[in-house]
């Protein structure tokens, strides 16, 4: 069974039906026999960006949990092992939320669905 971890922009674009989402990414998310995860770090990132006025969603943020459930996505909590991985990651990427997502992908062996080219510098499978 395939297991994916959606980057924050991937989640937003998927939920909004945005054209920025690649066909490969959409197909991987909607494939049969797949489990899609959303990092709790992505939800924190979205909440912070909304509070700073740097992000607007087409759906109110308080409905994101419902949308995640309706799409069959699972929220991936942070584990201590994720922090250990973050502490040793090379600094190809400096965004703290992305570093957490990379660490979770490595720790859980998940395919990371992201357009971010910097993710390819890490020991994780990236799909776009």
pLDDT digits (tens, 9 = 90+) for 9-49: 999 999 988 889 999 999 999 999 999 999 999 999 999 99
- pLDDT confidence of 91, banded at 50, 70, 90? confident
**Residues 6 or more apart from 37 whose CB is under 8 A from it?**
3, 4, 5, 6, 73, 74, 75, 76, 104, 108, 110
Q: Is a pLDDT exceeding 90 seen at residue 88?
A: yes
Q: What is the mean pLDDT of residues 93-113?
A: 94
For residue 19, the domain's CATH number is 3.40.50.1010
More confident position, 18 or 70: 70
With beta carbons less than 8 A apart as the criterion, state whether 36 and 124 touch: no
How many structural domains are present in the chain?
1
Q: Which domain holds residue 65?
A: 2-127
């Amino acid at each position: 069974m395939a297991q994916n971890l959606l980057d924050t922009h991937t989640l937003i674009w998927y939920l909004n039906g945005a054209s920025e989402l690649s066909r490969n990414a959409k197909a991987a998310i909607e494939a049969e026999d797949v489990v899609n995860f959303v990092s709790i770090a992505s939800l924190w990132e979205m909440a912070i960006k909304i509070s700073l006025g740097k992000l607007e969603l087409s759906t109110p943020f308080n409905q994101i949990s419902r949308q995640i459930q309706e799409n069959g996505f699972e929220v991936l909590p942070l584990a201590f092992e994720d922090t250990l991985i973050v502490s040793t990651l090379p600094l190809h990427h400096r965004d703290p939320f992305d570093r957490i997502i990379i660490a979770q992908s490595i720790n859980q062996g998940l395919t990371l669905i992201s357009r971010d080219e910097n993710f390819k510098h890490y020991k994780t499978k990236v799909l776009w």
